Amino acid sequence: MNKINFTILACGLLLTPFLVSGGLTQTRDPVTRELTGVLRINKAMGVIPRGQEVKEAGAPCGHFYVAVLDPANKYKSVAYASVTGGRDDGEFYTCRYSLRVPAYKGLYAVAGMGGVLLLPEQSRARHHITDAWIGGTRNKPPAGHERAFIPGGKYITLTTKAMYLKFDLGYIRVDPN
């Protein structure tokens, strides 16, 4: 593999690169593949409010994301995307996502509510997991339950093709301990 060395003047101008045996190594972008899918929110659960202590409905998909984490690197985030859409599919709001992730690498995909700044942890804000949402016939989790995406996460490895993952928002039992 050829290596390229750049000479930089004190004022920051870049001169023409020339091939040498030492210096910066020219690298290619890692191979990536597309991860696409949907998050489904049962309309009976209602719509998440615009914010905590707010009584107005937000967009059906406005507070959700999908993130891909690297288990070999303390579950550091390698890619994430907000979901889009909010198409009404009868019983569900269907929220689409698409992101490019490294191929040929063991990764962990999760869907969550709120922002991605806490990754690999997820938001524990009441208006995401336990407070009543706007509308719906089952808009508040029963006692001892909270909202979460099912599956909670999925180990994946993308190879020669794109991958499609579906997450459903549901109520899960909380361990009282």
What confidence score (pLDDT) does residue 165 get? 96
For 28-48, write each residue's pLDDT tens digit. Answer: 557 999 999 999 999 999 998
| Mean pLDDT of the residues in the chain | 83
Helix (H, G, I), strand (E, B) or coil at 132: coil
How far is it, in rounded angstroms, from Cα 149 to Cα 2?
Answer: 48
- Would you say residue 15 has pLDDT above 90? no
Unique residue bearing structure tokens 């993130």: 67
Instruction: List all residues 6 or more positions away from 155 whose beta carbon is below 8 Å from its beta carbon.
Output: 71, 106, 107, 108
Which percentage of the chain shows pLDDT scores above 70? 83
What confidence score (pLDDT) does residue 53 get? 79
User: What domains can you pick out in the chain, each with its CATH number?
Assistant: 1-29 (no CATH), 31-173 (2.60.40)
- Would you say residue 166 has pLDDT above 80? yes
**String of DSSP letters for 99-149:** EEEESSS-EEEEEEES-STTTTS----HHHHTS--BSSSS-SPPTTEEEEE
Using alpha carbons only, what angle is made at residue 163 by residues 158 and 167, rounded to the nearest 5 degrees?
A: 120
CB 109 within 8 A of CB 154: yes
For 49-85, write each residue's pLDDT tens digit. Answer: 887 778 888 888 888 999 999 999 999 999 999 887 7
